[in-house]
Structure 1
Amino acid sequence: MTAASHAQTAGTPAGTPAGAPGGTAAAMAAGRANALVDVAGLRVGHAERVGDGYLTGTTVVLAPPEGMVAGVDVRGAAPGTRETELLDPRNLVERVHAVVLTGGSAYGLSAACGVMDRLADADAGFPVEGGVVPIVPAAVIYDLGRGGRLRAVPDGALGAAAYDAASAAEARSGSVGAGTGAVAGGLAGGVGTASVVLPWGATVAALVVVNAAGSVLDPGGAFLSGTRYGLPGEFGHLREPLAEEAAAWRPPVVTSFNTTIGVVATDLTLTKAQCGKLAGVAHDGLARAIRPAHTMVDGDTIFGLATCGGPAPGPDGLQDVLAAGADVFSRAVAHAVLAATGRDGAPAYLDVFPSAGGGVA
């Protein structure tokens, strides 16, 4: 079966979420931008540094003015994170003001300080006596040395630049922001995003930074595993790569440290615990699109976000949101790899498998 036919059969209950009670996946559609910014109130910004030893960047997801409810699920064995303990439902803070995804391994966590400063200047944060404390959870990928210098990493200034670039229209994918130096099983990795509007009006969307030790290719061939979960026609331009291209693929030797990180969000009202569950289910989408996932050399981390612009879902509605969250994350992984720019040691997917896009080998 070709990747295109996988996409075209995505309306079947076996491959995709069931939608609202009584609905079908075929009734679903992507949001306007097919991106995280389709969740009303969210803004996304990217900033990167390339050259002079740098090949890295930072991506920020900014909350609406009133903040957003957040949860987190960390499943990789080598995570680099900040402020995740605050997202435990037992703990005090109910809303966060931004989420930072960044390169630079643990060094890159300083990018969140630049975002925090910008939020404080805008008086956005948890109210305390005399002002506010912005709540900015963050997660990192390992991309050290990919531009030539180990310590050429994101800092507070790059975080501030990502904040300044944030827009409600930002839908870019590929080698931007935190995905600038990413790899995906030897291929070029990057930032990917996708969205779905459920038949009853709720929006669910994801943004992922794919920097995986595992493969993004189906073990039975060379099409992208994440395309199995596409909406009707979303990946219809792709074909099954020729067998000889698949047989010839030998992944370049890359660093043994990686990590895939991201967010999955909805415009509904969820609790912190429900956001944590949404993040956990999104890990199912990660594991469908990347094999193996959650390894000892990955720090796979996903944040679940709710802007609370819509009502709280009932049990059936929540089930639909969770199912959609897994699929939208898989789709975002595929978009990240398709949009990434190839470079020495990390070729682009369609450069390695030109027949997948209709090209001639």
Structure 2
Amino acid sequence: MEARIQLQSDWYTALRENEGEVWVSCKIPGKPTVYGSLKCQGVGYDGIPAVTASEEFEVLQVSKKSIHLTCPSGRTSSKFIIPYTSFPKIHDKSVTCLDISSGGGLGVSTSTDGSMKIWNCKNGDRRRELTGHIYDVNCCRFFPSGMVALSGGMDAQVKLWSCEDGTCPVTFKGHRAGILDTSIVDRGRNVVSCSRDGTARLWDCGKSTCLAVVADCGTPVNGCCVGTADNSINLGTPQENPSDREVGTEDKLLLLAREDRKLQGVGLQSRTAVFEFEGSDAFNCCTFLSSVYVAAGAQDGNIYQLDLRCLSTPVQIFHRSGAPVHSIIPIREGFIASQGDGSCFIVQQDLDHTIELTGPDADPVYKVAVWEKSVFTCCRDGLVRKYQLSSL
């Protein structure tokens, strides 16, 4: 566990008032937490506040949208960024999942109000509502084309949607319990879904059929991700099935984040287990960082970075809090993760500090999506937040 700086969630508003003050702390493993404060000494003509810190902390840089702090005793520093804008009117209740189209113009999101909506990424205006699932919709994502969306719901159905007119031309049925996550293979001829029923299924979008039960884990599968593994990794012997060769599932590795504390890798064409890695708690999400590195987030707050060529010991274990890790996605030479305590942060190899995306006040951030230099998050407080990162 590394030292972590935490800052009052409404710091930006408070520090724009003369003599406005906020709390800041630094949790240092094995040592007492360091507490301090930041104070505004006035706001310049450029709109940037002059901020001073108590003796335990140092202010390295302040801008209109961010503040960079360091805690010398914890040997750590963090840059805190506020949202560029927020969209409060897309849904009426908690926003549970979201994705951004490949062109960056459209967003799709789901909510505990039972709705799934397409909206404009610039202003949050709702374009259309996608109706057809029974009960809640758990997950959604865009196909690479940006004109088709994929969803999975508590009704155990996987659906394909036209973003142009909101129709649902394809519904996949076969799972016996709610869908928890989906993943798209290459350009989208095939998709994978995972479910509370413990299975992961491979679907043919053109034929509207289930090609195979790729894995039957006997425990809920909370997350999945399809990627291309390095040639040195043995994905098993391909099955002699002509339909498999047609759909191009060769050389793909499927990651499964399982409820029983295991991260499993399955050869998508061989349908055999390539590896199983056991963590400290249930895995909630997983992603490829490269062809050899993967990352997975657990219920106890641990984030495991693994090398597929040597799984005996994690490359690194990140632990910032005991809150569940809800989402993790790659970004440049690192990843973005969100947790149940409202934190959302970026770790990159070429940065000597952590980037913190602030705004939620202890409300879980359920999902993160990236388009170019924009980061979108969805939260239990019902907001979709958009951040602009000039450093990306």
TM-score, scaled relative to structure 1: 0.28
Larger Rg: 2
Instruction: Name the structure with the higher helix share.
Output: 1
TM-score, scaled relative to structure 2: 0.27
